Structure 1
Amino acid sequence: MNRLVKSALLAGAAWSAISTGALAQTAAPQEDTASVEDVVVTARRRDEQLKDVPIAVTALSAARLEQTGATDITVLQQQTPNATVQIARGSNSTLISFIRGVGQQDPLWGFEPGVGLYIDDVYVARPQGAVLDIFDIQRIEVLRGPQGTLYGRNTIGGAIKYVTKRLGDEPEAMLRADLGSYREINALGSLTLPITDSFAVGGAVARYTRDGYGTNLTTGQEHYNKDVTAYRFSAEWTPTSDLFFRLAYNRVSDDSAPRHGHREVPSTTGGYLPPADVYDTQAGLTGDQSVTTDGVSLTGEYTVNDQITLKAITAYLTGDTKTVIDFDETPLPTLDIPALYSDHSFTQEFQLLYTGERLSGVAGLFYMDSTASGAFDTIAGNLGLSIAAAGSVDTKSYSAFADFSYDLTDRLHVSAGGRYTRDDKDGQVLRLFYLGATRSPFTGGVDRPIFATRTNYTASKTFEKFTPRVSVSYDFSDDMTGYASVSQGFKSGGWDMRGDAALVPQTVNGYEPETVTNYELGLKGSAFDHFLSFSSAIFYADYKDQQITTQQVATAPAVGIASVVDNVGASHIYGAELEGAAFFNEHFTANFSVGYLKNEFEKFISLATGTPVDVSNTREPQNSPEWSGYLGLTWSDQVAGGQLRITPSASYRGDYHLFDAPDPVLDQKAYTLIDLSATWTSPSGAWELGLFGKNLTDERYKVGGYNFAGATYNNSIDAFYGPPRTVTARLTWRR
């Protein structure tokens, strides 16, 4: 309880600091700075005003994202309290997400993410290709805290919803071109074309190219470049006023050059020093690098009457990845990883939405049939080995859920829901040693005899869980709502695809699910005659059976390197969040967010010595900065007959750890990113000019890394960095 009190005091202090300087004036919100009364979200699978939703939700409109020059969903990290949304190490389009300190750092196939990603209502099961570029959208919603009732498995940290626009009944067209630093050239076009009064088609095509921020000093290739093509096509049919169908297709192709890391310390072999520029690498591993994802979905809605609507969502997603990652970042084959990933998933969901005089809610059924598979080599030059790992996980998931709200009075509302989930999983894991520090036959190497079979097993398991949610909310006034909630989520169990049964025999047993139970108090609304629109929350979370990956290296009696995934951890997490907008006058507005997060291990069981030992006093949770914040100020006025908007902004992120074992080489100190955007819209609204400066102070900050210290692996400690200073000019035409 004292932790909750501390969080409440922190939230109150942040509130006082903002409200004390407020000027009680009334101003009309701009389209890129909407109040909580104006924002409609689907966080509870039904359209509701943000103020009325008893969930901590950040909703960023398309207008606000365009005003700040956002290009992909990693911008959510800057504007969402207590969130980490980053491009994964070694990739240009694989997503790493944490919300309130809960997520998944390792994007290997077979591991489940801790933050769910949805395109409209379609669940994206894998992180590869999930760094979605922002185009043709209506808004993005970030739901913080476990969402196990309405969104199910693997949303223990929260969920990110990418909501696309519906086609209108009028022809629309848009063309956009960007020109920026590092020879950035982006082109985007979209078209909506009504064929009849009831049928319309639309599509968007985007092309993103950019030279690298650095260079591979060994191969001469660009490093941190971008070469991405994205498509989206849809058709909508409304045969009657009660029926609606939407068929959508998405494709993303990423052909960027291999993205290695920057060596942070001198090597123990070869005398290689860290490159002077953090965006340069000396990696010697070469090969194919590509990520392709495809998805098709069919959504149908039938309005039975004023109270009942039926909805069905059918989707099929596929993904293929070829990648090469040089862990040692030298021309030597000390720790080289060529890899292949493949996945596909079919999902079917049925929803019944009910809206009555006092009772409203949703109930539904969900089914998923997915397969995630892959193969990779660990080319260990100092051991003279190529360690091949291959396997797959087949998952059939069944869920039934319901969430309903009831108005006890005009001001007092209660909500209750629950979800039952059953995951049937089949896993296959194979790990082989081949002599010679070259690729194995699995990744295109010369066929040769197996030197040793380390792991070879198949296994099946069923994971079942009921995840409830209960909330009470009260309208203190027409402009202010408070709520209290308890919710639970879980992340499914599985098997370690890297597991070495000779080194770690218990790997064949797999690992069990992890759970988060979250207690939350929130206050949302408007104050000072709508001068200030805000949303705030304090929370306490009990995180149990954490699935944590640790590395084990051995030279005798069993030579090798392998990960160990086990339920070794338990944490308590508490904090506070405040976000909102202030409307000073018709020309001057502000957006802000503040997050406080305290994430502490209660237990961390290590098996490194063969005997279980609690080492929680030496471990720190990943991606859990204590403080994060954002402030953006927007000035707007009529200039040359059009509308000019200028937005300087600053985002702050406190100290954080990339790994649970603190390392002064890889731990990231606090930093602040300064951005500046300016847009001018012509009097007719047809033309828009934009200029966007990002990271204007040219901060260097780590977003990922690898840590394989010691002579056996050439002291391979390397890091991946966020983008440097960039400036981009944009021209947009709309009709």
Structure 2
Amino acid sequence: MPAFAQDAKAPQASDAPAKQNEEIVVTAQFREQKLQDTPLAITAVTSAMLDSRSQTNISEVANQAPSVVLRPQGASFGPSLTATIRGLGQADFNPAYEPGVGLYIDDVYYPRLTGANFDLLDVERVEILRGPQGTITGRNSEGGAIKFISRRPNGTDGGYLQATYGSRNRIQMRGSADFTLAPSLYARVSGTFSHQEGFVDRIDYGCANPGSGIASTRAGGDCVVGKDGSVGYQAIRAMLRYNPDDRVDILLSGDYVNDSRTNPPEVLIYANLNNANTNPAPGVPYDSRFICGQFCNYATTGQPAGTWKGPVAAGFPLVGTQGENQSTYKGYGLSGNIDLKLSDSLKLTSITAYRNWKTRFNSDDDLSPANIGFGENRLTHWFWSQELRLNAKIGDIAEATVGGFYSDEKTTYFTFQDIRYAPIPLQFIGNDPVRSKSKAVFGTVIVHPAPALTLTGGIRYTDESKSYTFFRKGPDGVTPNVFLGALDNVTGRYSGNKVDYRGSVDYRFSPELLVYATVATGFKGGGIGPRPFNPAQAQPFNPEKVTSYEIGFKSDLFDKRVRFNVSGFYNKFKDAQLTLLSCPQFGGPGPCALPQNAGNADIKGFEAELAATPVEGLQIDGSLSYVKWNWKCVAIQVVRPLAAGETNACSSDPAVVGLLNPQPPIKWQWSAGIQYEIPMGTSGDTLTPRFDAAYQGALLGSTTVNANPVIAALDKIPGRTIANARLTYKNVSHAFDISVEVTNLFDHYYYQTNFDLTGAGAGLIKAQPGRPREWAITVKKKF
């Protein structure tokens, strides 16, 4: 008789296993590896995680990454980003500096902080590599590297459309589509549009304070002349992929970004300067009367013509300066990624890229009708790079990678600076070309001497050069500036080379536990101080270097329902680059913005990350980090003038070390998130509430300690905890979802950044408040 298969038993609720953590594949070591098999401290964030947390740009990703701080900059630094990992990084946008955190989009290096606050457009995942990556991603990754991996065209002929509406007329449209053009030839197009009104009122002081002695520019009615902190962002990306088989994969991509918005939201928190050249009206000093409030300022974006009142150069004519309260950034990029499988054991990768952008922004530093300082800034930039890598598999015993990298870059920085708090009148035009070149060769070997044991070794040689030419013209743009003319057409040059290495050993005690130990080096390039106010301040600075010792473990516990990773590190940091805002040791009193190698420090800390799915539908994640910085010695001339007969040694004298503020900017960070996917009856639809909270500790401002307790208290951004909530409905096929989100749920008032110019003599501290509580509704349809 024929045998019939028995009907399968209908699954019962008690039979359903708890969902395991998602298996994430990363490419941190030039090849695809499971996250839990990679002996590096990595935070990997998938697109699903980004959606569930309401994260749409790079600075938001850092909220859940331990030891990582990404913050948008204020108006004085334009549309740029401050980025640090484990306390190492960079905040200044000027092309004379190098970033200490490497940024990569599809393996293409992004060399500048300007324009780096990327929208997460059609991202498959984000990999945040913590610790120096000198042998993997090269120079300027001393703190770590952040890699964005886009969704590749794959011939699914699918895509999505997403629309958001929220607070202050927030309108955001996002979408992508995947096409099959021909057999083995695929395309993908994605784009985003974002608009939102600002949240810091820019108020006409004379209108709001009649009888103050300061004239109003308003004819009457509302005294609000604009709103800072708006959003106006559009971007599009197109990809073309040829993938006939597993031996050939060619990806060509291009993108365009147009970011136009009002100036970053800033408020004045300290004002104290009585200077006839800067006062907004005769007898009206610059003081606390111009502190407007939590969400307003009196910025005028310009200064009137007049004559210098001395005591030096009395009667010197001053021209009027004026600019828009607008920041713009336009850029495009082209890249080609070619993967060729030469044999079963050899793979060749070529990465070619070109990027071009221009930006324009103005800054009224005093945020008032006073005449402290105003700057018009325009930068144009191009960057070209080529990387070649050869991956080899040597039986079952080893894998190896060798390669080379070359880049050429030029940024021209035009600026009209009108600085009236200095002892001399400083109205000058700069149009400074900055040229940088870098070339490197590298190699990595991964050896498996025993089934559970892996040894990794890497080395990289980097040769770099930079030139910075100063143009210091008068307001006519032709005649050398009367006071800075000695700098006009002077070129500063820097060149250097560095060998970085990495050694790592990891052992898998069981399928659940991997333990590793690593020693690695990295560096951030040197250069020439870009903002000298006299010839004595045209000082060079050398690279800063770090050697890191790290141990850690990665674990998948309880049938992969709990993922718990921990790392501890100890860094030997040398020749730290810090910017001085007061430097009488270089040319006497007056403005200063001089980078110098400040000394050596020991940095130690730990990081922990948790991801758990204890029962079906429930997800819990969290992170914790602690970083402690201890100056071992400080270069004397960085903190005070040299005494008679004294040399500029790196001193361990507590009296010298104590003049420098401790670093890093943040010691403690933590985050916690929880969500639960609730089935809605028998339909298969789900409703998912999610809650996130993230804490970042206090952020120090100036480099040197300020003896004034009032200024010292304000020159510190207090720690803050920000909570977000989201409720998402998805239909059974997950092709349609709608979500309601609230960010900064408890409407906490906090600062993103602050900028202290008291040490330079400007008598002001301004800060950038974070966004207040906002709500949004998002609808997404997949097809």
Q: Give the equivalent residue in structure 2 for 1:643.
A: 686
Contact kept in structure 1, 2:590 and 2:761, CA below 8 Å: no
Question: Which of the residues 349, 360, 376 maps onto 2:415?
Answer: 376
Confirm or deny that 1:282 pairs with 2:298. Answer: yes
Report Cα offsets for 1:593-622 as digits up to 9, x if no partner.
010111222223253643148532232345
The question of whether the paired residues in 2 share the 8 Å contact of 1:251 and 1:295 is answered with yes
| Distance verdict in 2 for CA 1:95–1:59, change over 3 Å | same
In structure 2, the partner of 1:83 is 68
Structure 1 partner of 2:675: 634
CA distances 1:695-721 after superposition (whole Å, capped 9, x unpaired): 1111222222221227952x2211112
CA distance in 2, matches of 1:647, 1:54: 31
Secondary structure, in 3 states, of the residue corresponding to 1:192? strand
1:378 is matched by which residue type in structure 2? Q
Q: Structure 1 625/348 Cα, relative in aligned 2: closer, same or farther at 3 Å?
A: same
Residue number in structure 1 paired with 2:332: 294
- Determine which of 191, 199, 208 is the counterpart of 2:185: 199
Counterpart Cα distance in 2 of 1:320 and 1:557: 34
Q: Deviations over 1:180-219 (max 9, x none)?
A: 1121110112111111121111111111110001111137
Deviations 1:455-475 (A, max 9, x none): 232133321000000000000
Once residues 347 and 366 of structure 2 are traced to their aligned partners in structure 1, the CA distance between those partners, rounded to angstroms, is 56
Q: Which moved more, 1:51-60 or 1:702-711?
A: 702-711
Report the counterpart of residue 778 of structure 2 in structure 1. 730
Deviation for aligned residue 1:145? 0.5
Q: Which of 570, 579, 588 lines up with 1:540 in the alignment?
A: 570
Whether 1:407 aligns to 2:448 is yes
Are the structure 2 counterparts of residues 67 and 313 from structure 1 closer, same or farther at C-alpha, using a change threshold of 3 Å? same
Of 361, 378, 383 in structure 1, the residue corresponding to residue 400 of structure 2 is: 361
Whole-angstrom distance in 2 between the partners of 1:448 and 1:110? 25
Q: Deviations over 1:319-351 (max 9, x none)?
A: 211111111111223111211112111000001
**Conserved 8 A contact 1:485-1:519:** yes
Give the structure 1 partner of residue 758 of structure 2. Answer: 709
Q: How far is the alpha carbon of 1:389 from its aligned partner?
A: 3.7
In 2, Cα distance between the equivalents of 1:50 and 1:476? 17
Query: Hey, what's the Cα distance between the residues in 2 that align with 1:27 and 1:60?
Result: 21
Name the residue aligned to 1:424: 465
Aligned-residue offset at 1:263: 0.8
Once the 2 structures are TM-superposed, how far is the Cα of residue 235 of structure 1 from its aligned partner?
0.6
- Out of 464, 474, 492, the position equivalent to 2:497 is 464
Cα gap change, 1:571/1:552 in structure 2, threshold over 3 Å: closer, same or farther?
same
* Match 1:350 to one of 384, 388, 396: 388
CA distance in 2, matches of 1:513, 1:557: 24
In structure 2, what is the equivalent of residue 451 of structure 1?
482
Aligned twin of 1:676: 725
* AA of the residue aligned to 2:407: M
The partner residue of 1:657 within 700, 719, 722 is 700
**2:112 alignment partner in structure 1:** 126
Amino acid at match of 1:461: Y
Q: CA deviation at 1:577?
A: 0.5
Contact 1:391 1:430 in 2 (8 A): yes
Aligned 8 A contact 1:658 1:703 in 2? no
SS, match of residue 714 in structure 2: coil
Q: CA deviation at 1:557?
A: 8.2
Displacement of 1:272: 5.0
Task: Report if aligned partners of 1:588, 1:633 keep a CA contact under 8 Å in 2.
Answer: yes
Q: Verify: 1:265 aligned to 2:270, yes or no.
A: yes
Q: Which moved more, 1:643-652 or 1:266-275?
A: 266-275
Name whichever of 154-163 and 529-538 sits farther off.
Answer: 529-538
Taking the aligned partners of 1:354 and 1:554, their CA distance within structure 2 comes to: 56
Q: CA deviation at 1:385?
A: 3.0
Q: Is the 8 A contact 2:19 2:617 kept in 1?
A: no
Shift of 1:502: 3.0
1:253 equivalenced with 2:249 (yes/no): no
Equivalent positions of 1:447-596 (< 5 A) are: 450-452=481-483, 453-456=485-488, 457-504=490-537, 507-508=538-539, 510-552=540-582, 560-596=590-626
CA distance in 2, matches of 1:479, 1:535: 11
- The equivalences for 1:47-446 within 5 A come to 47-90=32-75, 93-218=79-204, 220-259=225-264, 261-268=266-273, 269-271=285-287, 273=289, 275-285=291-301, 286-287=323-324, 289-355=327-393, 356-382=395-421, 383-432=424-473, 434=474, 440-441=475-476
**Structure 1 residues 578, 555: CA separation in 2 closer, same or farther (over 3 Å shift)?**
closer
Offset at residue 660 of structure 1 (A): 2.6
Distance change in 2, residues 1:78/1:252 (3 Å):
same
State the alpha-carbon separation in 2 of the partners of residues 556 and 309 from structure 1.
54
Return the offset for 1:397.
0.9
Shift of 1:261: 2.4
| 1:253-299 per-position Cα deviation (integer Å, ceiling 9, x unaligned) | 11101226211023432445354543322111132521112110011
Partners of 1:487 and 1:88 lie apart in 2 by: 30
- SS of structure 2 residue aligned to 1:221: strand
- Check conservation: 2:603, 2:629, Cα contact below 8 A: yes
Structure 1 residue 430, shift from structure 2 partner: 3.1
RMSD: 2.2
- Look up the SS of the partner of 1:64 in the other structure: helix
1:617 corresponds to 2:658: yes
Q: What is the CA distance between 1:503 and its match in structure 2?
A: 4.3
SS in 2 for 1:96: strand
The 8 Å contact of residues 581 and 759 in structure 2, kept in 1 or not, is answered as: no
CA spacing shift, 1:260–1:630, aligned 2, 3 Å: closer
Change (3 A) 1:592 1:449: closer
CA distance in 2, matches of 1:584, 1:165: 30
In the superposition, the TM-score normalised over structure 2's length comes to 0.85
Across the two proteins, how many residue pairs are aligned to each other? 691
Q: 1:375 offset after TM fit, Å?
A: 2.4
Of structures 1 and 2, the one with the larger relative CO (CA 8 A, separation 6+) is 1
Q: Percent identity?
A: 26
- Over 3 Å counting, the alpha-carbon distance change for 1:710 and 1:669 in structure 2 is closer
Unaligned segments of structure 2, at least 5 residues: 1-15, 205-223, 274-284, 302-322, 643-647, 706-711
**Normalising by the residue count of structure 1, what TM-score does the alignment of the two structures yield?**
0.90
Query: Is the contact made by 1:471 and 1:483 (CA closer than 8 Å) also made in structure 2?
Result: yes
Kindly tell me: are residues 175 and 621 of structure 1, through their superposed partners in 2, closer, same or farther at Cα, counting changes over 3 Å?
farther
Distance 1:558 1:411, change over 3 A: closer
SS class of match (2:469):
strand
SS at match of 1:462: strand
Which of the numbers 20, 27, 35 marks the counterpart of 2:18?
Answer: 27
- Show the counterpart of 2:747: 698
Structure 1 unaligned spans of 5+: 1-24, 435-439
Say if 1:429 and 1:198 are closer, same or farther in 2 by CA, change over 3 A: same
Tell me how far 1:139 sits from its aligned partner: 0.3
* Correspondent of 2:734 among 685, 700, 708: 685
Decide which moves more: 61-70 or 348-357. 348-357
Residue type of the alignment partner of 1:262: V
Would the aligned equivalents of 2:158 and 2:179 in 1 still touch at CA under 8 Å? yes
- Quote the Cα distance in structure 2 between the aligned partners of 1:622 and 1:470: 27
